[in-house]
Amino acid sequence: MAGQDFRTCPTTGLKVHLPAENLIKANAVAAVLLLLIGGIAAAGVALTRWPAIHLLPADWFYRILTLHGLAMLIAWIIFFEIAALYMGASVLLNSRLAAPKVGWLAFLLMVVGVLLIAVMVLWGQADVMFTSYPPLKANPLYYLGVILFAVGALIGCLLFFATLYKARKEGTYPHGSFPLVTFGLACAAMIAISTLIHGAAIYIPAFLWSLGFMGMDPAAYRLVWWALGHSSQQINVAAMISVWYLMGTLTVGMKPINQKLCRTAFVLYVLFINVASEHHLLVDPAISNAHKIWNTGYVMHLAVLASMIHALAVPAGIEVALRKKGYTSGLFEWLKKAPWSNPGFSATALSIFIFGFMGGITGVTFGSEQVNITAHNTWRITGHFHSTVVGGTTLAFMGATYYILPLIFRREVLGMGWAKLQPWFYGIGMILMAGGMMLAGAYGIPRRHWDIVNFGGSPFAFTWDPTVYMWLSVFGIGALLAVVGGAIYILVTVGTVFFGRKLE
């Protein structure tokens, strides 16, 4: 075993495999670059949907909205998750990455895939939105881009499992049990593999359909597509909660209060969270009510139970750790004295709050049979998933970045004063933005709509309940705050990677 392939981390004492570290860096850099692209698109979309500004023309609005969805939901999050997987398997277990070259192949496929997607969308060859529902058709190269990206991500997941196997075989860690974070990430990777297989089951037929080799039934497409679309968000949930445990430990030295409980909750995710994808089809033809109720009801609540367990375990673990530091007076001294000026901690705390209270509760509600009649395709849905995947997952990943920069990139975070403010801008912005979306959506404001004021001059144009405009303004102000928070994040990260003081 060549010793020069490793360095020892002075903070954690972990042995870091240098080829693994390079791959983590590459995937993290790609993630942040795509967050930048997705963020610029987000600003364009938000400033157009805010009627006070209505920035972009219709064609560019729909194009940029498609780009925003793909850059954020696919590229930024999955690149970051692949980086997290390599870290969980290699760094946390003191192990070498099983096959770095395969890791680079996966990275290459993902980069080529995302470039193909971006070029097709910006070239106007794929004005089909994130969901690309047939009969809307994109250029075949668009579907090919998604397939290449997914194959790359699948290889990344397999490399993660190969590394776990190697670490175990070589005995790089004390005994059979993984650290909780690695365990959670393994659950995320299992969900990812099942998700990506569903992705193949819909994007390969869609690719062939776009080439004219086969027909495509709109209802069947929706059914299979959502087996991908719904469960891909569950990868984010499992990865985000793993990051919560990681950040709890890094920021306040938290220990899981009961390993049995936390790990069982992760297993519940693997077993049960992938069902319930018919949430998205509750007001569709072609599927019977009995099947919809069965699919969205039967074991889904065991996955929600898992979230309830984490909702206790993570804050309780943080509380115990802070009380051990001596903040024991009264019920809430620990909360007051928590390291709120540490961006890693504040981002995690805000992520827990936004995901749990705004995202989780609305998700379970909007996914119930009758409520869905009033929520389907309105802005309530968009508000819901911005609470889960942006206020939750993205914010948690941002918080983790403030530790990845010193620990993996070995650079001191540049502009720490700005970094301290960043999660607050982003988190509060997201609360206002997603809240505004959900409340405007409750009045029927549709998602994916360019002009809710004049309806592009339609003779049937009408006016909304005036309350809607207040929520639209709350949305707009929130979006601006979030854009500022996102910009600070990107400036701090890029600045640190290039100009931060080097650490040993």
Partner 1 sequence: MSISVPDKVWWKPIDKEEKIWLFLAIIWMAISFLWMPIYHFIGKQNPSNESYRVTREQWDTLTDDFIKKYQVKDASGNLVTMNDIPVVHPPAGSDVYLEGRAWKWWPVLELEKGKTYRVHLSAVDFQHGLSIYPLNINYMALPGYDYIITMTPTTSGEFPILCNEFCGIGHHTMVGKLIVK
Q: Which of residues 219-238 bind partner 1 (CB under 8 A)?
A: 219, 222
Structure tokens at 291: 């099947």
Contact residue for partner 1 among 97, 126, 185, 246 (CB under 8 A): 246
Contact residue for partner 1 among 55, 122, 257, 428 (CB under 8 A): 257
Alpha-carbon distance of 355 to 238, in angstroms, equals 12
- Taking CB under 8 A as the rule, which mask of x and - marks residues 80-119 in contact with partner 1? ------------x---------------------------
Contact residue for partner 1 among 26, 89, 181, 352 (CB under 8 A): 181
Footprint (CB under 8 A) of partner 1, residues 20-59: 58-59
Contact residue for partner 1 among 7, 25, 168, 376 (CB under 8 A): 376
Smaller CB distance to partner 1: residue 48 or 422?
48
Alpha-carbon distance of 255 to 275, in angstroms, equals 31
Footprint (CB under 8 A) of partner 1, residues 140-179: 173-175, 177-179
* Nearest distance in Å: CB 395, partner 1: 19
Footprint (CB under 8 A) of partner 1, residues 463-482: 464-465
Length of the chain: 504
Contact residue for partner 1 among 361, 374, 499, 501 (CB under 8 A): 374
* Nearest distance in Å: CB 153, partner 1: 24
Q: Which of 357, 336, 354, 351 is nearest to 401 (CA)?
A: 351
What are the φ/ψ torsions at residue 435 (nearest 5 degrees)? -60, -45
Smaller CB distance to partner 1: residue 208 or 312?
312
Smaller CB distance to partner 1: residue 311 or 477?
311
Told to check if 292 binds partner 1 by CB under 8 A, we report yes
- Cβ-count burial of 460 within 10 angstroms (0-12 exposed, 13-18 middle, 19+ buried)? exposed
**Each residue of 433-447: b (16+ CB within 10 Å) or e?**
bbbbbbbbbbeebeb
What are the φ/ψ torsions at residue 378 (nearest 5 degrees)? -90, 175
Those residues whose C-beta lies under 8 Å from the C-beta of residue 358, and which sit 6 or more positions away, are: 383, 384, 387, 391, 431, 434, 435, 438
CA gyration radius, the chain: 22
* Nearest distance in Å: CB 242, partner 1: 8
Smaller CB distance to partner 1: residue 33 or 281?
281
Footprint (CB under 8 A) of partner 1, residues 120-139: 127-129, 133-136
Size of the site for partner 1 (CB under 8 A): 92
Torsion of CA 172, 177, 179, 183, to 10 degrees: 120
Contact residue for partner 1 among 108, 304, 421, 491 (CB under 8 A): 304
Helix pair 218-252, 343-353: axis angle to 10 deg: 140
* Nearest distance in Å: CB 243, partner 1: 10
> 3-state SS string over 34-70?
HHHHHHHHHHHHHHHHCCCCCCCCHHHHHHHHHHHHH
Smaller CB distance to partner 1: residue 113 or 184?
184
Smaller CB distance to partner 1: residue 10 or 456?
456
Question: Would you give the DSSP letter of residue 411?
Answer: B
Cα 153–Cα 155–Cα 159 angle in degrees, nearest 5: 115
Alpha-carbon distance of 415 to 394, in angstroms, equals 20
Structure tokens at 299: 């074991």
Footprint (CB under 8 A) of partner 1, residues 326-355: none
Footprint (CB under 8 A) of partner 1, residues 421-450: 442-444, 446-450
Helix (H, G, I), strand (E, B) or coil at 419: helix
Smaller CB distance to partner 1: residue 208 or 364?
364
Told to check if 214 binds partner 1 by CB under 8 A, we report no
Among the listed ranges 37-45, 211-219, 230-238, 472-480, the one in contact with partner 1 (CB under 8 A) is 211-219
Smaller CB distance to partner 1: residue 410 or 449?
449
Told to check if 286 binds partner 1 by CB under 8 A, we report yes
Task: Confirm if 306 and 269 have CB atoms less than 8 A apart.
Answer: yes
Told to check if 289 binds partner 1 by CB under 8 A, we report yes
Told to check if 400 binds partner 1 by CB under 8 A, we report no
* Nearest distance in Å: CB 120, partner 1: 17
